[in-house]
């Protein structure tokens, strides 16, 4: 059998096309009109939405557990040991000086605006498509990503493929439909030809995480962790920000610093947007007011 989306050949026993993830009997999701390029068009298209592979699902947000009495006792012991460690660290700090206070270094100040998109112009260059598993389009001055299949993600990036190195990237993200057990956020340093990038993601129920997409694998850099800085629920707007400088990254939500990471694998790349669903699709997220800023020396 030949896939009508990407032209790849697969057998009747296959549940999905190995190239684009389309089921053999795929239909366009309700309420969406199909706008995917046909096989002939894909050969010359700058971006091929139909060829997006079904990516492995990132690690799910950590469940909220109820603790037994024994667990509470052990937690108390651990808290006492932690306090002792903190006291010891304070003594060590007073000895070695301020060099250990901020090992990630000082975050550079934000400079001039290099790129922006408020998504009011449907011709500004971001992918538009509609498939059985995902869709992307401009809607009422925002950019919309939708995921209709479980353990699936959708992503997009500007058609100009502009690469950035040391920059601060910001965008407003708003989940409008679906389970709050979701994932959405910014892709940075996206090396498009090899599909490698960093993904700073938050969830509708108040968690955040950072992953690196490597060569056919996901690498967890920051496990899912809850934060009160993340506004929860549908239609809640969260300002997501990533500062990339050398091999260092700083991550923020709503002007609150969440974490710092060091990784020197990817030094430059494009900016993208992404959303994903776990066990309860669909998940629909709108993005707005994207800005990329230079960093001051």
pLDDT score for 79: 56
Residue with tokens 């999701």: 29
Angle at CA of residue 99, ends 256 and 294, nearest 5°? 45
Residues in the chain: 297
Q: Which string of DSSP letters, residue by residue, matches 181-201?
A: SEEEEEEEEEEGGGTEEEEEE
How confident is the model at residue 194, as a pLDDT?
84
What is the mean pLDDT, run by run of 10 residues, along the chain of 297 residues?
A: 65 62 53 37 31 40 36 48 56 38 67 95 94 95 96 87 92 97 96 90 96 90 96 98 96 97 95 95 97 92
Q: Output the six-digit token pair for 218.
A: 């996901």
pLDDT attached to residue 195: 86
Three-state DSSP state, 94? helix
The structure tokens listed for 41 are: 């068009």
CA atoms within 13 A on the CB side of 10: 20
- How far apart CA 210 and CA 201 sit, in angstroms, is 6
Sheet holding 152-157, edge to edge: 152-157, 270-277, 182-191, 196-202, 207-213, 218-226
Residue for token digits 């408020």?
118
């Amino acid at each position: 059998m030949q896939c009508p989306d990407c032209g790849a050949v697969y057998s009747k026993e296959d549940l999905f096309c190995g190239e684009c993830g389309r089921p053999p009997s795929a239909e366009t999701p309700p309420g969406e009109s199909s706008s995917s390029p046909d096989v002939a068009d894909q050969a010359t298209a700058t971006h091929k939405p139909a060829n997006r592979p079904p990516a492995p699902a990132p690690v799910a947000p950590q469940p909220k557990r109820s603790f037994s009495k024994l667990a509470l006792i052990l937690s108390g012991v651990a808290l006492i040991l932690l306090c002792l460690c903190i006291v010891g660290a304070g003594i060590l700090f007073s000895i070695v000086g301020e060099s250990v206070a901020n090992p990630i270094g000082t975050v550079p100040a934000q400079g001039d605006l290099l790129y922006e998109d408020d998504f009011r112009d449907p011709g500004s260059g971001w992918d538009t498509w509609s498939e059985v598993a995902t869709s992307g389009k401009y809607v009422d001055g925002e950019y919309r990503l939708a995921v209709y299949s479980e353990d699936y993600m959708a992503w997009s990036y500007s058609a100009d493929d502009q690469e950035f190195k040391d920059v601060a990237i910001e965008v407003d993200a708003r989940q409008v439909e679906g389970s709050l057990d979701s994932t959405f956020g910014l892709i940075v340093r996206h090396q498009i030809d090899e599909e490698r990038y960093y993904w700073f993601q938050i969830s509708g129920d108040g968690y955040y995480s950072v992953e690196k997409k490597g060569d056919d694998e996901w690498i967890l850099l920051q496990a899912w962790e809850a934060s009160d800085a993340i506004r929860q629920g549908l239609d809640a707007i969260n300002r997501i920000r990533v500062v990339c400088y050398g091999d260092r990254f700083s991550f923020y939500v709503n002007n609150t610093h969440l974490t710092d990471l060091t990784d020197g694998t990817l030094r430059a790349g494009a900016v993208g947007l992404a959303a994903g669903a776990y066990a309860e699709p669909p998940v629909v997220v709108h993005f707005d007011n994207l800005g990329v800023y230079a960093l001051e020396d």
